[in-house]
Amino acid sequence: MSKFKIRHVTKYTYDNTVRDSANQIMLYPIEDDDQQVMEHTIAITGNPPIDQYSDSFGNKVGVFTNAHPHSELLIDSNLIVVTQKRRIVDNATPADIQWRELEKLKSDLHFIDFLKQERFDALPEVRAVIESERNKNSSPLEVAEHFCNYIYDSFTYQKGITTVESTLDEIWKLKSGVCQDFAHILLAMLRLMNIPARYVSGYICPKKNGMRGEGATHAWVEAYIPSYGWLGFDPTNNCIVTETHVRLAVGKNFSDCSPVKGTYRGTAEHVLDVTVVVSYEDGHSTGGNHEIVMHEPRTSVSQNSFRRHQEIQMQQ
């Protein structure tokens, strides 16, 4: 068992006064057998009421509006979450039986969204890589592990070279990016092999040996393994997800899981700054407390972000 204290601060600074700022937040960790929320508070500029609902993927979503004129919007999420050690994967079922089970899921409404492949120009190149790299006798688990490792080895982890708007073609051409880019490529590969795969947003919490994305918002993939269920794969760190990963939301891709997005009334441009602070205990009496402060490289000046988000969806 591991216990984490996480503070996630999103700050919008406008160059002029705006009002009627309507926002959606997905800052509520998933609660199941693997993780439980002990405490959680969210403070927002103007103290607007937050309405909550569950989306089609089972994520808890909050919506609020700050109607009063303001030049800054601060969303301050503080939580304490406990994660459990993940159960061991049993891969004893013969591979051919597992692949037949996956074949049956093509018409299952619970999995259709996670099998639908996004179309992009480099799709034939990705198919060719899969054909050359894939071992036909491997199980779904072994295939997912192999391509998780392939992305880790073939792509360069480089901040600032991509954005949340980068397409699969851009990521594939650059062979560089950050966690969400690695996750999107792995999603495409797994879905091409008929393995249901979903995008996961969350946090990866500090470890003594260090991992990419520690103490910051993070993204990875969950693949459906017949002998196990939904199993997390982190291509940014080339590992199967452990209790150091805290899940916020799941969806088809990033747009389903964006922690904060919204719109406002006014002509002002804005600067976005995101800060994540993580402290943790190892769950044992011999463990100590550690703290890492990370300022994510997301600060940027842009037009109304949600309107731009809608334009991109229409273009796609």
pLDDT in tens, 144-175: 999 999 999 999 998 888 888 889 999 999 99
Is pLDDT larger for residue 18 or for residue 294?
18
Asked if residue 286 has pLDDT above 70, the reply is: no
Asked if residue 80 has pLDDT above 90, the reply is: yes
Please work out, in degrees rounded to the nearest 5, the angle formed at the alpha carbon of residue 250 by the alpha carbons of 127 and 39. 155
Torsion of CA 287, 293, 298, 304, to 10 degrees: 100
CB within 8 Å of 307: residues ≥ 6 apart: 263
Give yes or no for a contact between 282 and 22, defined as CB atoms under 8 angstroms apart. Answer: no
Share of the chain above pLDDT 70, in %: 85
Q: How confident is the model at residue 77 (pLDDT cuts 50, 70, 90)?
A: very high
Q: How confident is the model at residue 289 (pLDDT cuts 50, 70, 90)?
A: very low
Asked if residue 294 has pLDDT above 50, the reply is: no
Asked if residue 39 has pLDDT above 70, the reply is: yes
Residue-wise pLDDT tens digits, 81-129: 999 988 888 888 999 999 999 999 998 999 999 999 888 999 999 999 9
Share of the chain above pLDDT 90, in %: 62
Bridge-partner residues for 4, per DSSP?
A: 81, 280
Asked if residue 74 has pLDDT above 70, the reply is: yes
Domains of the chain with CATH codes: 2-84+257-315 (2.60.40.2250), 95-255 (3.10.620.30)
pLDDT score, position 263 = 87
Asked if residue 230 has pLDDT above 70, the reply is: yes
- 65-79, 195-209, 210-224: the lowest-pLDDT one: 210-224
Minimal CA–CA distance to 312: which of 201, 166, 174, 187?
A: 166
What is the C-alpha separation between 132 and 136, in angstroms, rounded? 10
Bridge-partner residues for 150, per DSSP?
A: none
